[in-house]
Amino acid sequence: MSTISFIGSGNVATRLATAFKHAGHQILDIYSQTFTNAKTLAEAVGANPVDDIAELNPNADFLFLCVNDDKLYGVPTEVPFGRYMVVHTAGSAPLSLLNIFRNNAGVFYPLQTLSKYKDVQWKKVPVCIEANSKGTQNELFELARSIKTRPLYMDSEQRLALHTAAVVANNLSNYLYQIAFDITKKYGVAFNLLFPLMEETLLKLETLEPKKAQTGPAHRRDFYTIQKHLDLLHDMPEAHDVYQFITNKILIQNSTESHEIIKP
C-alpha cells in the first residue's frame, strides 16, 4: 500500500484518487485553490482537504500534480520538498519540468478522456510513464499495475506527439460530432442512428490505416452528392465550411491535384 496526495481536484485527480483508493492505497491530502472542491474529493476518498500547499504531508509516497497543463509550469516551484515522489499527469509537459526534484520525479499520463462523474475501465487505458531514475520508473509501473491499467514507457517527445494525435483523434473529432448532432437535430433525425456507423469506423481502424478505411462521396469523387450536401447546409455556415474544407482535403488526398477542388 502506498500513501498518495494530490494537488488538484478536477477530473484526472478524481478518477485517479478513486482508483488508487479502491486498489488499497491511502489518499492523504487533497489540495485545491477552491477549498470546497478539495473537501468534496477528500470526503469521497477519505483524505484530508488542504487549501495551503505548505500544509501537504511531507511523508506521502507520491504527490500527484493534476492541474491544467498551462498552470502546471508554475506549480513545481510552489511544492514544498518532502520524501514523496512528485508526479505530473500531463501529456504535453516534459519530465524536465520536475528537474528540481532530482531523481524523485516522474510522469503518469493516462491516455483517456476522464470525467469526475463517469467510472473508468482502467484495464483498457494505456498509461505513459517516464521518470528521472530507473527506481522511480519501476515504482510508477507498479502503481499503474495496482489499478489494473496498461503501463508503458514513453519519453517526453513521444508523449507530446501522442497527446497531439489524441487531441486530433478525440477532441477535434468530437467537434465534428457536434456538427453532425446539429444537422440531425435541425432536420428531426435521431443522432444515435449514427452510432453503429461511428463504431464500425473505429473497428476498421484496428486492422486498417485510416486512409485505407476512408469511404464516402469525397473518396468516390461523387461531386453530385457533395453539392447536394453543401446545398443542404447553405444556412448552417459553420457546418457548410467545415464540410467543404475537409471534403477538399479528402479529394486532394486521393488525387494528384494540389489545389482545392470544391469552391465556395
The predicted pLDDT at position 258 comes to 46
Indicate yes or no: pTM above 0.85. Answer: yes
Mean pLDDT along residues 175-195 = 97
pLDDT top residue among 5 and 80: 5
With 0-12 CB in 10 A as exposed, 13-18 as middle and 19+ as buried, what is 162?
middle
Q: Is residue 10 classed exposed, middle or buried when 0-12, 13-18 and 19+ CB atoms within 10 A define those classes?
A: middle
What is the location of CATH 1.10.1040.20 in the chain?
159-253
Beta strands 126-131; 150-153: pairing state: parallel
Confidence of residue 102 (pLDDT cuts 50, 70, 90): confident
- Per-residue pLDDT of 103-147, as tens digits, reads 799 999 999 999 998 999 999 999 999 999 999 999 999 999 999
Place of cell 464516402: 216
pLDDT of residue 243: 97
Mean pLDDT in the chain? Answer: 92
Rounded Cα distance, 119 and 247, in Å? 36
- pLDDT at res. 253: 84
**Superfamily of domain 159-253, CATH level 4:** ProC-like, C-terminal domain (1.10.1040.20)
**What is the rounded average pLDDT of the residues 223-234?**
96
For the chain, strand residue ranges (E) read 3-7, 26-31, 48-50, 62-65, 85-88, 105-110, 126-131, 150-153
Query: Which CATH architecture group holds 3-154?
Result: 3-Layer(aba) Sandwich (3.40)
> Which helix (H) or strand (E) segment is 219 a member of?
helix 217-220
Q: Where in the chain is the domain with CATH 3.40.50.720?
A: 3-154
Sheet holding 48-50, edge to edge: 48-50, 26-31, 3-7, 62-65, 85-88, 105-110, 126-131, 150-153
